[in-house]
Structure formats: C-alpha cells, structure tokens
Chain A
Amino acid sequence: MNKQTQIINVVGAGILGLWQAYKLAKEGFTVRLYEKSSLPFEASSSRLAGAMLAPFCEAEASEQHLIPHAQRSLEIWRESPFSVFMHGTLIVASPRDRAELRAFEKRTKGHQRIEAKEICKLEPVLEDRFQEALFYKDEAHLAPRPVMQALLEALIELNVDVHFDFEGKRAPADFEIDTRGMGAKEALPDLRPVRGEMAVVTLNDFSLSRPVRLLHPRMPCYIVPWPDRQFMIGASVIESDDTGPVSVRSALELLGAAFSVHPGFGEAKILELSAGTRPSLPDNIPKIFIDGTNIIVNGAYRHGFLLAPLLADHVSSYIKEERCEGMFFE
C-alpha cells in the first residue's frame, strides 16, 4: 500500500505520542494526533520531566543493556532539529557522602572523576563547593516544555491533524498507536503509577550549563538548567498512585538538597511545585505491545524523553516492514 494513503491515529500527546506522530508524518504517512486534555501537555507526565538525556547515569538504577539503546536514541535527538544541549552531566556529593559517589562510579560507565579545579572550569558557580565529582561528557539535556511545543509546531507544519480536548470516537485508521500512559491502565493491568514531585525555581546571576545531580543517601536530587534563568529541581520516586499536590516533606527535601548544592538557591523564587505519576511496567522499561494494527507504547517510567525517538523508530519499522526487533517489543 502506498504510504500516503495509510492513515495512522496516534493517541496521547505526551513526549511518546508527539515523537511518534512526528516520525510517521516525516515518513509520509497521514497522521492524526488525539489528546484528551484541552491545553497542550496539561495532563501529560512529560510536562514534569527532567528531560535529561543520560544513558549512563540512568543505567545506575536500571538495566545496563539499556545503554546502547539509550545512546542510539540520543543520536536521533541530536540529528533532529530540536535544541539538545550536549554538555554532559555532573554528579556531586558532599564529602561525607563520598561512599555514594564511589558506589555510583562503580555502577556506571562513561564517566571520568574530576577534581575541584575542573569542576570550577565546567560550572564556575560551583567553585569551592565540591572536592570531587563525576563527569559524564557524552550525556545531554533539553528543555522539555519548549521542545514539546516545537514538536507540536513541527506536526502542524507537516499537516498532522491535531485534536486536543478529544474524547469521542476516533476516525477509522490503518493503524492506531496508543501512547496514553496511565490512561491505558485498563488495557495494561501491569501498568503502575510511580509518583514524582518537582520544583521550578528562578534565580538571577546564577547559571549552570548542564544537569547537576547530588547524591545523598536519603535525598538525592538533580538540578536541570532551563531557559530564562529557570532551574528544574527533581524528583522524588514514590510507589504511589497519589496525583495530589507536593508534600511538605518532599518540598523540603528537594529544595533543601538544591540549597546544599549551592546556597544561592536560598534566594531563588519558587515558580512551581508540581507532582504527577510516571507510567511504569514491572521492570521499569518501556514496551511496545503489538496486536495487529493496534499498537501500545507505554511504561516510559523515567525514560520518556530519553527513549521516545527510538521507540518511535521501532514502531515505524513495524508499520512499514512488520519488523519487531529489539528489547522493547513485548
């Protein structure tokens, strides 16, 4: 069948759905994107993501064999027109938590151990804050909300039929790809929510070039530089279906951890404290479920931004060539 005549419905406009629609539209398919929320990204967990593209650091709490896939996905991001900052990741810990740094070093690859002088060269604001750090030079980050907006604009440019505030019956299509996250719970009984809480603060006269992760036995955190002097501070990982507001305890821990990275954060203004849940499967690795022309992509957990391009590629190869190769197919 001619591609142009094949119609594909993508359901859900989080990062998985946006990338999926983008990939297929670029390849010449006729694509429709359906999203339940009326405002773009309002109900999506992607909105709360740290969007660190960190194949090595993420493997610390995940599976090592994910690394080459994550690296491939990062390559696709870099080849895309969207802004990806290839500045690496910095991992720090206070002197008394040196054991955490050693453990992280042992459990991950792709890093070098650096000392105060080099830390200061990479992030001048961190002068004299830390004696040693781990630097992962081949990692990247992006600004999730602007990039999602850019993806949406690219879709409109590519004539994708975008429907927000849509809950009715979708027009018939040759394939339907469900990327609804927790919205697909009834189709995936194993899917579970993992709560995450984050803060966005703004701070003048302070800049970071890359995500900084603080290791701590009880309150680890990461700080991701966002545009306009904003910093995203994240994120708790709690096995809970609670989608309610951020707890005082989590706020204290997140903001306290950021303050311990640099006391300058004491003067920062809090723009947002948000909480949501990450759709997760039992092994915390995303999966592609195929049932003929119905495809479900779900379980992105902490890896939505990192793996979205690769998952979209896999689904596209299935649609074009019926190929189901790779660890993500179920």
Chain B
Amino acid sequence: MSKPSFSLYGTQLSSRLLLGSALYPSPRALQGAVKSSGTQIVTLSLRRESAQDSSASDFWGLIQTLDVNLLPNTAGCRTAKEAITTALMGRELFDTKWVKLEVIANDDTLQPDLFGLVEATKELSAQGFQVFPYTTEDLGAAEKLLGAGAEILMPWGSPIGTGRGLMNPYALKTMRNYFPKVPLIIDAGIGAPSHASSAMEMGYDAILLNTAIAKAGDPGRMGQAFKLAIEAGRLAYEALMIEERDMAQPSTPVAGTPFFDLETR
C-alpha cells in the first residue's frame, strides 16, 4: 500500500497521527504506543511538567529519545500572554519553531478562547513560530487565524478528553470544503478509532489525540488500532467513496436472470 506523504510546515510525514504524551500509565507505555501507532509527531505539555532545577526533566529526555518530531504545547494556558511565555520556553528547551497553541477559555469545557488564540497566533507568528492552533469549527475565527499567520488549523472533534467523537460533522465538512488547501487536523475529543476514520473519510489531513490511547486498557494495541483506522479513512477518502442513496440498488442486475434463485435450492 502506498502512503503518499503530506507535509506540515514543510516537514514531510507519512503518519497522519499526532500523539499526546500525557496520562499514560508509564513512560514505557508511551514508548510502546508511539511505536505501535507509527506516529511521527508527539506533543508534550510544558506548563505542568515543569523542570526547575535542570534544563529539562528526565521525562523530556525520555521523549527526546523517541526519534519523533516534538510539538510542545501550551495546554492549560488561560491567556494569550501565558501561552506566549510557554511557547517561548518550548522553543528554548526543544529547539523547535513548532508550537501547538492552546488558549483555554474555561476549565470546565476546556473550549478554546478564540480571541486569545488569534492574539497569541499573531504574536508568535511574528516571532517566527510555526503555529498549530487548537480551535473550533468557527469559520470566522479560522480566517482570522490564517490571517494571523497560522498555516494549519486544528478544529476540535469534541471537548478535550470527552471521547465523544465528531460532535458537529456538518460544520467539520463545511470547514473542509471551505479550506480545501489548508492542512486541517482534528484535535481533541476522539474516543474510538471509528471517530478518527470518519474524520479522515471527510478529507481531514490528520488526527491529534491523547486520552483515547493513553487511557485505553492496552495503549500499545490501541495505538495500532488508531494507526489502521486513520490509514483506512485516508485511503477511503483518496479512493472516492460512493454517495449515499435513498433507494436500494442491487449490485448484480436481477432482470433477465430467470433462475436467480436456483442456487439457494
């Protein structure tokens, strides 16, 4: 099976899964999931796992040995300012221009604060960052994010950690059609491999998830399940799926086959 690569900010990738590194039972389990899922991008949180006594904690060192692209995130930041400071820290620690930008509106829903997100995207892009903004399916906000310098958009499937899948497929389809050339990644809310498949069938470029694999009974095997589901969804999209119909249409014509029921006798 050929797996045409795609690129994010000029980096060629063959895996369309971006994996979060939080919540695993152990670093060993994380390593297993990275391997089985085939992911080439691992996100990591800077705000919580803060090392103060040395330049990087052992956990970060461990992640750096995984041979993947690191995508520092600003998980849990509540203001644009806080997110910018965190992003600067990520650039310094991991020597990357990439940042997964989260500006959270409130702790209960973990919805993106779109105003703060646009503000931080503008500032970070001006400072040379390549921003992966965690946003909603709102097209107005999406336009503003692109205007602010983002070249990728990451709309949510449903709120972070809920595992409810694609809550608004209509809006996500609209977004895909509205931005045919922009790399779009579903970020957050994915629970089952079928959720990831559905998004890929719609033509989304990639899936970013964490909890669905980290908190699975067996993260290693779930990683493989998502790998296969994402590949299947992408392949289906490229192979052009049939349209839905209201009426049944037999796949073998019945007219003119006088003894079509003979075989069942």
Q: A interface vs B, CB < 8 Å?
A: 61-63, 103, 107, 191-193, 217-218, 238-244, 280, 282-285
Contacts and interface: CB of A to CB of B under 8 A. Distances in A.
Given A192-B58, A192-B62, A240 B26 contact: no
A282 B28 contact: yes
In this complex, the member of B31, B58, B62 whose beta carbon has the largest number of chain A beta carbons within 10 angstroms is: B58
Contact of A240 (B25, B31, B51, B161): B51
A121 to B, nearest CB: 32
Q: Is the interface of A mostly helix, strand, loop or mixed?
A: loop
A92 to B, nearest CB: 19
A70 to B, nearest CB: 15
A65 to B, nearest CB: 12
A239 B107 CA distance: 21
Please provide the 6 A-B residue pairs with the shortest distance between their CB atoms, ordered closest to farther.
A192-B58, A239-B59, A284-B26, A283-B28, A239-B49, A242-B52
A107 B217 CA distance: 7
A107 B23 CA distance: 15
Contacts of A191: 58
B182 interface: no
B141 interface: no
B229 to A, nearest CB: 21
Given A107-B217, A240-B49, A240-B50, A283 B26 contact: yes
In this complex, the member of B28, B60, B107, B215 whose beta carbon has the largest number of chain A beta carbons within 10 angstroms is: B28
B168 interface: no
Given A282-B62, A283-B26, A283-B29, A217 B161 contact: yes
A67 to B, nearest CB: 14
B25 A61 contact: yes
B48 interface: yes
Contacts of B48: 238
A285 B25 CA distance: 10
Contact of A282 (B31, B54, B161, B217): B31
